[in-house]
Amino acid sequence: MQGRTKRYAAATLLGQALILAGCDRQAAAPDPAPSPAATPVAVARPVGPERLILAFGDSLYAGYGLDRGQSLPDAIEARLRRQGINATIVNAGVSGDTTAAGRQRLGFVLDNLPRPPDLVLLGLGGNDVLRQLPAAETRANMTAMLDELHRRKLPVVLTGMKAPPNLGRAYVTAFDGIWPDLAKRDSAGLYPFVLDGVIGDPALMQADRVHPNAAGVTRIADRLTPLVAAGLKPAA
C-alpha cells in the first residue's frame, strides 16, 4: 500500500480508512495497564523441531514504515517462541502487492523455501480495495492462491480485509464476503479483518492512517498469534 497507490488523493485514502474504522472503535480501547507489583510470567524456551511459517502478503506484513524487526510476522514469531514453539516465520510481504501480484509470485516463493512450510499466513486484498478493483477479480485471485496451497497440502490462516461503506453496499457485500467464504470452503483459519481494533485509533496508526505503527502491530499480534498457534499441526 505505498508507491503504486499514490495516484489516489491522500484525502480519499484517509476518508476510506476512517470510514472503515467506524465499526471498530470500541475494540480499539487501550488495554488496562499492568500492575507494577505483578509477578513476571515465566517464558518458555522454544523446543522441538522448527515450525516454518510463510507470511505471504502486502505492506501490512512487510512492515511498511516500521523499523527492522517490528513487522507483524516478527511480532508473531516472537510470541510463538515465548510460548515455547520453535517457530521461524519467513516474511514474504511486498508493499503495494495486489491479489493479482501475489498470485503471480506465490509459486516462486514456495518453490524457493528450504522446505514446505508448516503453515501459510495469507494476507492480501488491501491494495485491491484502495484501487477499487472489481471484487470478482479479488475473489478469483484469492481462490487461485488457496487452490495452489491446497494442492501442496499446506494449511492456511487467512487475514481478511474489509471495504469502506462509501464504496456502496453491493461492492462491500461482494468484497467482504470473500474471506469467510474461502475460509469455509477450505477449512482455513480466519482472522476476519487484519486491522480490527487498530484502524481509526491515532495511537495505533502511522500518520498515513492506513498502516499500523509498532503499538498497532503489537495489538494485532496479540490477537492473531493464538490463531496461528492453533493452525500449526502437531510436529511429527
Which domains does the chain show, CATH number per domain? 3-23+45-230 (3.40.50.1110)
pLDDT of 117 reads: 98
Helices (H) and strands (E) in the chain, counts: 9, 5
pLDDT of 42 reads: 56
Say how far apart CA 40 and CA 31 lie, in whole Å: 18
pLDDT of 209 reads: 94
**pLDDT value at 65 more than 60:** yes
**pLDDT value at 86 more than 80:** yes
What angle (nearest 5°) sits at the alpha carbon of residue 171, between those of residues 29 and 151? 90
Per-residue cell: 108: 516462486
**pLDDT value at 24 more than 70:** no
**pLDDT value at 26 more than 90:** no
| 3-state secondary structure (DSSP) of residue 53 | strand
**pLDDT value at 40 more than 80:** no
- Spatial CB neighbours of 222, under 8 Å, sequence gap ≥ 6: 79
**pLDDT value at 30 more than 70:** no
Angle between helices 214-231 and 72-82 (to 10 degrees): 60
Q: What are the two backbone dihedrals, phi and then psi, of residue 212, each rounded to the nearest 5 degrees?
A: -70, 150
Say how far apart CA 168 and CA 171 lie, in whole Å: 6
Strands (DSSP E) along 58-182, which ranges? Answer: 83-93, 119-123, 156-159
Q: How confident is the model at residue 13 (pLDDT cuts 50, 70, 90)?
A: very low
pLDDT of 91 reads: 98
What angle (nearest 5°) sits at the alpha carbon of residue 194, between those of residues 100 and 217? 115
Give the pLDDT confidence of 179-213 residue by residue, as tens digits: 999 999 999 999 999 999 999 999 999 999 999 99
**Residues 96/59, Cβ–Cβ less than 8 Å:** yes
Looking at the chain, the whole-number percentage of residues with pLDDT higher than 90 is: 78
Q: What is the mean pLDDT of the chain?
A: 87
The residue with greater pLDDT, 79 or 10, is 79
Say how far apart CA 123 and CA 162 lie, in whole Å: 12
pLDDT of 44 reads: 75
- Has 59 been annotated as catalytic? yes
From residue 173, alpha-carbon distances to 18, 165, 176, 180 in Å are 19, 10, 5, 12
Say how far apart CA 110 and CA 120 lie, in whole Å: 10
- Out of 24, 186, 208, 222, which one is annotated catalytic? 208
Q: How confident is the model at residue 236 (pLDDT cuts 50, 70, 90)?
A: low
